[in-house]
A and B are shown apart, each in its own frame.
Chain A
Amino acid sequence: MKILIVGGGTGGTILANHLSRRLGSEIRAGKVELTLLSASDRHMYQPGLLYVAFGQMTPDQLYRDEASLLEPEVDFHVDPVDKFQLDQNHVVTKGGKSYAYDILVIATGSRIVPEEVPGLSEGAETFYTEESAVRLHKRLMEFQGGTVAMVVSIPHKCPVAPVEAMFMLHDFFKSRGIRDKVTLRYQYPTNRVHATANVARWAKPEFDKAGIEYETLFNLKSVDPVKKIVYSEEGTEVKYDLLIAVPPHRGMEIIEQNHLDQGGWIPTDRFKLTMNGRDNVYVIGDATNIPVSKTGSAAHFESEVLAANIVARIKTGTDSPVREYDGKVYCFIEAGFDRATYNAFDYVNLPDLKPPSKPIHWFKVAYNQMYWTSVRGLL
């Protein structure tokens, strides 16, 4: 039995480690082959980028060697997949190697596409890549006063990130002693300050308390980097001195080039995690079109469910899933530099936000390190 995982990020790494531990004896006996192909030899803890933007972490703290995170039974190669030949049950890599599989798992994540919005790359800073987070930090340190505007595109990774960034901006400028010289403006695409009603219900009064101005129904249309104006589809505009954007996201180009996608995302069964129309191809993490937030947390819980199902398939010949993904997600929400709350929900239970507290913030700070235990499949 050949299991092939494509993508060594959060979802792919957790899955590989769970499978390796549960199928160790089968792998050593040569009955199971477990291969992981990735595009990078390094693994990035992406949520740390937000802290880099505020000078609370440095980029080197966000990386580990992928090989150091994997169980020894995982056959790991840095050789990105170029062609998915699903009818023949094999993939071909950029390096020209062909890998056959009985079970394929796609966990290739997502990418930012600021170029989809005219003027965005030139006019806005962001914190969704290492380079941009470092640059944003410099801009924030140099900023002496004026309007800092946040704009949000859809779809994007980590739905709570723009709200967290606003609270952190508030505390950042307070700590620099220039909060009174800075207008913080938040622009959001839906009719509330957050797409999730309960997050919006919590965030709105907190914005009011912090003096953060907001405009809803603001769908980003274009940016004029010379005049420093950002325009919405709804016909409104905002003048800024510093623009911070959550750029639009898509699945990886390779997924589109292989026509596995609809609009960049792979159509996936939200319970079984199978790619639609394929019994032996699974999709986890950001790459799916499942209507759940694109988060490491979703990728984590999905990989646990999938590991249980693959193990059962191999050990007991059970073809139907022994577990279904229930839509579970758990995300921390930073409410500034020293307070946080969390957003926990699944397909049935709505998030119910608790008032922010210091212990939850410290738990998040600890999780920034505990991630490396989590991605090893130990937590």
Chain B
Amino acid sequence: MAENKVVDACNTFCPGPLMELITYMKQASVGDTLELLSTDEGSAADIPEWIYKVGHEVISNEKMDGIWHIKVRKTK
């Protein structure tokens, strides 16, 4: 069964949202989805770039009430 996990990386600068996502990606299984919550503008661009480069999948990337919700799936 694929798992869905929410990773709250709001208001965190060091090591920051992308590092949090990479940490949780390493723990996840193929098929799992992670929804990263971030208040950092840069993450909205940085995280999809990392996901594409490594070859995972971005499901959605939207800002709601000042918080970016970036949903990704581990594909390999």
Question: Which residues does A use to contact B, with CB under 8 Å?
Answer: 154-155, 159, 189-192, 195-199, 217, 219, 233-234, 248, 262-263, 291-293, 327, 329, 343, 345, 347-348, 350-351
In the complex, the answer to whether B14 meets A199 with C-beta atoms within 8 Å is yes
In the complex, the answer to whether A191 meets B9 with C-beta atoms within 8 Å is no
In the complex, the answer to whether B13 meets A196 with C-beta atoms within 8 Å is yes
* 30 A-B pairs in the complex with CB atoms less than 8 angstroms apart: A154-B23, A154-B26, A159-B14, A159-B15, A159-B19, A190-B19, A190-B22, A191-B18, A195-B15, A195-B18, A195-B19, A197-B16, A197-B42, A217-B49, A217-B50, A219-B54, A233-B54, A234-B53, A248-B26, A263-B23, A263-B26, A263-B27, A291-B12, A293-B14, A293-B15, A327-B11, A345-B13, A345-B14, A347-B11, A350-B13
Q: Does B46 contact A (CB under 8 A)?
A: yes
In the complex, the answer to whether A196 meets B16 with C-beta atoms within 8 Å is yes
Contacts of B19 in A (CB 8 A): 154-155, 159, 189-190, 195
Contacts of B57 in A (CB 8 A): none
Contacts of B13 in A (CB 8 A): 196-198, 345, 350-351
A156 and chain B: residue at smallest CB distance = B15
Contacts of B24 in A (CB 8 A): 263
In the complex, the answer to whether A189 meets B22 with C-beta atoms within 8 Å is yes
Contacts of A351 in B (CB 8 A): 13-14
In the complex, the answer to whether B11 meets A348 with C-beta atoms within 8 Å is yes
Q: Does B32 contact A (CB under 8 A)?
A: no
User: Taking A217-B50, A233-B54, A234-B53 as contacts, is the C-beta distance between A155 and B15 under 8 angstroms?
Assistant: yes
**Per-residue CB proximity of B50-69 to A under 8 Å, as 1/0?**
10011000000000000000
Interface size on B, residues (CB 8 A): 24
In the complex, the answer to whether B14 meets A292 with C-beta atoms within 8 Å is yes
In the complex, the answer to whether A291 meets B9 with C-beta atoms within 8 Å is yes
8 A Cβ contacts from B36-53 to A: 40, 42, 46, 49-50, 53
Question: Which residues does B use to contact A, with CB under 8 Å?
Answer: 8-9, 11-20, 22-24, 26-27, 40, 42, 46, 49-50, 53-54
In the complex, the answer to whether A262 meets B20 with C-beta atoms within 8 Å is no
User: Taking A155-B19, A195-B16, A263-B24 as contacts, is the C-beta distance between A190 and B46 under 8 angstroms?
Assistant: yes
B8 and chain A: residue at smallest CB distance = A291
In the complex, the answer to whether B53 meets A217 with C-beta atoms within 8 Å is yes
Cβ distance B45 to chain A, nearest Cβ, rounded Å: 9
Cβ distance A114 to chain B, nearest Cβ, rounded Å: 14
A192 and chain B: residue at smallest CB distance = B46
In the complex, the answer to whether B20 meets A291 with C-beta atoms within 8 Å is yes
In the A-B complex, list the 10 residue pairs whose CB atoms are closest, starting with the nearest.
Answer: A263-B27, A291-B12, A347-B11, A195-B15, A196-B14, A195-B19, A195-B16, A159-B15, A293-B14, A155-B23
| A347, B40: Cα distance in complex, Å | 11
A190 and chain B: residue at smallest CB distance = B18
In the complex, the answer to whether A329 meets B54 with C-beta atoms within 8 Å is no
In the complex, the answer to whether A234 meets B11 with C-beta atoms within 8 Å is no
Contacts of A329 in B (CB 8 A): 14
Contacts of B12 in A (CB 8 A): 291-292, 327, 347
Contacts of B17 in A (CB 8 A): 291
| A348, B9: Cα distance in complex, Å | 12
Contacts of A262 in B (CB 8 A): 27
Cβ distance B2 to chain A, nearest Cβ, rounded Å: 17
Cβ distance A199 to chain B, nearest Cβ, rounded Å: 7
Q: 7 more A-B contacts (CB under 8 A) besides A189-B19, A192-B46, A195-B14?
A: A155-B23, A196-B16, A197-B16, A234-B53, A234-B54, A263-B23, A293-B14
Contacts of B40 in A (CB 8 A): 197
Cβ distance B21 to chain A, nearest Cβ, rounded Å: 10
| A233, B76: Cα distance in complex, Å | 11
